[in-house]
């Protein structure tokens, strides 16, 4: 028998330390609910789990982005819904004014309402905003299209554009608050009054024709003008029916306002208003299609995030039942090791009996 080194006690103490360490690890996993609490628990699993976590959080944010996009399009669609209502009312007024049972005073009253509705249509287009961005005044058309990031990775975007839905763009608003200068001109032997109008930096040429009070439509092609030595410019000008004014821009088709002050102009204005209604309907249809697409996008993002979360959980989360069994086993082993360590420490005392 030896007393300098109690090998049995040393072995028992080593086993006790291992059991205590295992028990501590079990407690850490059970208390956190995670199988991987540090890289040492599973280095490869930790790397995969962190990559999945980044993907999941990206998908969740992309879902929020899509929801914001829906909110923006809903705001625009709500404004266009009101624009539709205004145009429908304008159509009613035009149909009413086209009936010769109305007096001129009544037609003037109807025209006043048309003018007010036109101003409201313009106000809606200028003041409809989402987070400070104008939605239906043309800012979001062409190169101004909005880009929404709807994925967790680079380049997963969709673009949304909304055309100009102002009264001017829809062709139901004429020219107002203009500065002009007049002079006489002659075309093919006929005398007219030329009015050069300036608005927003554009040169606008209006020709007033005495046609017995009837509205006339003129197509003026390849018109050349030169002033103060400037380079001549060519314009193509087209006036719509129901017009009281037209705006001339280089190489384009020009929109005019609504005049229902006579039976003829009111009758012609109906077609112009119907065209505007069709344009708003087409834009609302596009917005509705985008909203439906975004709804499906959100559903897909939610499903993808759910599946990735389940996969990440299988890698990183602890199986509570299995871990509890391990904890119970290690706890019993620790208690047994403590008891055996006490027994091992008692063995050297037997040497004293030999010395007596």
Closest CA to 258 of 138, 103, 91, 127: 91
pTM comes to: 0.66
Is 50 exceeded by the pLDDT of residue 227? no
In this predicted structure, what is the pLDDT of residue 249? 42
Is 90 exceeded by the pLDDT of residue 130? yes
Tell me the H-state helices in 317-349: 320-346
From CA 276, how far away is CA 242, in angstroms rounded? 13
Closest CA to 62 of 179, 156, 125: 156
From CA 66, how far away is CA 291, in angstroms rounded? 9
Q: Which domains does the chain possess?
A: 52-172+265-306 (1.20.1330.10), 179-256 (no CATH)
In this predicted structure, what is the pLDDT of residue 181? 43
Q: Other C-beta atoms within 10 Å of 289: how many? A: 11
From CA 34, how far away is CA 37, in angstroms rounded? 6
Closest CA to 305 of 58, 49, 67, 65: 58
Q: What distances in angstroms separate CA 183 from CA 124, 193, 213, 228, one per listed residue?
A: 37, 6, 21, 16
- Reduced to 3 states (helix: H, G, I; strand: E, B; else coil), residue 306 is helix
Closest CA to 98 of 299, 272, 237: 272
Query: Model confidence over 253-296: pLDDT tens digits?
Result: 444 479 999 999 999 999 999 999 999 999 999 999 999 999 99
- Reduced to 3 states (helix: H, G, I; strand: E, B; else coil), residue 112 is helix
% of the chain exceeding 90 in pLDDT: 59
């Amino acid at each position: 028998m030896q007393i300098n080194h109690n090998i049995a006690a040393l072995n028992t103490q080593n086993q006790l330390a291992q059991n205590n360490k295992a028990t501590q690890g079990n407690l850490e996993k059970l208390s956190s609910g995670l199988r991987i609490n540090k890289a040492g628990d599973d280095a490869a699993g930790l790397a995969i789990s962190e990559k999945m976590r980044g993907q999941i959080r990206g998908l969740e944010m992309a879902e929020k982005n899509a929801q914001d996009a829906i909110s923006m399009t809903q705001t625009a669609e709500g404004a266009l819904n009101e624009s539709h209502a205004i145009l429908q009312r304008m159509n009613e007024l035009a149909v009413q004014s086209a009936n010769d049972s109305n007096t001129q005073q009544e037609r003037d009253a109807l025209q006043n309402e048309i003018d007010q509705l036109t101003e409201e249509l313009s106000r809606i287009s200028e003041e409809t905003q989402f987070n400070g961005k104008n939605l239906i005044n043309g800012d979001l058309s062409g190169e101004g299209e909005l880009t929404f990031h709807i994925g967790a990775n680079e380049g997963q975007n969709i673009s949304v554009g909304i055309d100009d839905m102002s009264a001017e763009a829809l062709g139901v608003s004429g020219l107002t608050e203009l500065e002009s200068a007049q002079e006489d001109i002659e075309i093919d032997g006929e005398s007219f009054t030329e009015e050069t109008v300036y608005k927003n930096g554009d040169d606008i040429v209006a020709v007033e024709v005495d046609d017995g009070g009837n509205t006339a439509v003129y197509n003026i092609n390849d018109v050349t003008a030169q002033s103060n030595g400037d380079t001549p410019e060519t314009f193509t000008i087209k006036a719509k029916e129901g017009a009281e004014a037209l705006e001339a821009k280089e190489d384009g088709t020009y929109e005019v306002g609504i005049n229902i002050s006579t039976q003829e102009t009111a009758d012609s204005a109906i077609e112009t208003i119907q065209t505007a209604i069709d344009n708003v309907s087409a834009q609302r249809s596009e917005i509705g299609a985008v909203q439906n697409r975004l709804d499906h996008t959100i559903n897909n993002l939610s499903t993808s995030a759910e599946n990735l979360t389940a996969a990440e959980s299988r890698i990183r989360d602890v199986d509570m039942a299995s871990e509890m069994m391990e904890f119970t086993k290690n706890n019993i082993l620790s208690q047994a090791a403590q008891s055996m360590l006490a027994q091992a420490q008692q063995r050297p005392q037997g040497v004293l009996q030999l010395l007596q």
